[in-house]
Structure 1
Amino acid sequence: MKKVGLYFGTFNPIHLGHLVIANHLVEFTDLDEVWFVITPQSPFKTKQSLLSNHHRYQMVLEATEEYPKLKPSNIEFNLPQPNYTVHTLAHLLEKYPNGYDFSLIMGEDNLKSLHKWKNYEVILENHNIYVYPRVSSGTIDHQFKNNPKIKMVTDAPIMEISSTFIRKNHKLGKNITPLLPTAVFKYMDEMNFYR
């Protein structure tokens, strides 16, 4: 049984913080692989700063090329919008009925709002959740504190890099190259993104 951690995000762009967390989880927990599940652009909310699905997928592909245990996933691109995590998980179980055990990966800040997610009880009943630390995460709902399905990864590095910071400062002409995998910066620069 292959244990796969699903790391959801827009990855606009993917940066070293994402890679460090994903790599830590795949190397220091019982996960065999981490899949970066790229959230599609919502047809209802067209955000000017959000690159097309294709370009964000390509950047994740470039970023993970040297890491065989890290993979991009476009599984949500063809699902009806708005999409919910519970639907994505059902779709993955349908697509990979044998040999895969899917878990979620999230920051402590997201765990705080898990009780607001659609059918969160179904998710918790059927999937583990690996939670990495954040600097300012606040208090976690008591129902999640000692839940055996929630695995707190307390030794994961705390990465306070944000894609918003990267986009904003790239536009201002600041040197943000140390925050990105080289291949991602190259692709971003060649395509003239976030200028």
Structure 2
Amino acid sequence: MALNDTAPPAFQTLIYQGKVVTLALETVQLPTGQRVELEIVHHPGGAAVVALDAQLQLCLLRQYRHAGGGWLWELPAGKRDDGEPPLQTAQRELAEEAGITAAQWSELGWLHSSPGVFDEVIYVYLARDLTPTAMAHGSGEVIEVHWLPLVEVWNWCQNGQITDAKTLIGICRTVAHLQICQMN
């Protein structure tokens, strides 16, 4: 499936232009031929990183998210800068948020964060062969860096302790990737 196989809107009204998102009211034609008005939040997209060391310890952030209701467990992740390739976003965010660089990168796919309203696409990467580097948290970020066994994090995914969608998908895809690699 293509990342964008929809027709452009017949009409668009800009409602809000922020630092990160744009809200637009768009008149579109659905595949059925019906024309509807949709509220669409445009977002530049982002990347999330599953950083896994040789002992299968995973880098997980405990991050304060006001919109999420407080402290959440998340993978290192962030917004793409203008024109920035997704892998470069992943590398930058891993260094800034977790103080890590990686020599090996595998793309685990991409996801839509909330396709009923957002056009955001998040690319997910597995980072291995890790090396410490300087951290540079962004303004307004409150982050604790933790290294936890992948098995424990997998259990947190199953019992609801992790609720962030990109993190759940990244960890699930990592577990599947590692299982497939063992079978080959």
TM-score of the two chains, using structure 2 as the length reference: 0.29
The higher-RCO structure (CA 8 Å, 6+ apart) is: 1
Task: Point out the structure with the larger helix share.
Answer: 1
Larger radius of gyration: 2
Task: Point out the structure with the larger strand share.
Answer: 2
TM-score of the two chains, using structure 1 as the length reference: 0.28
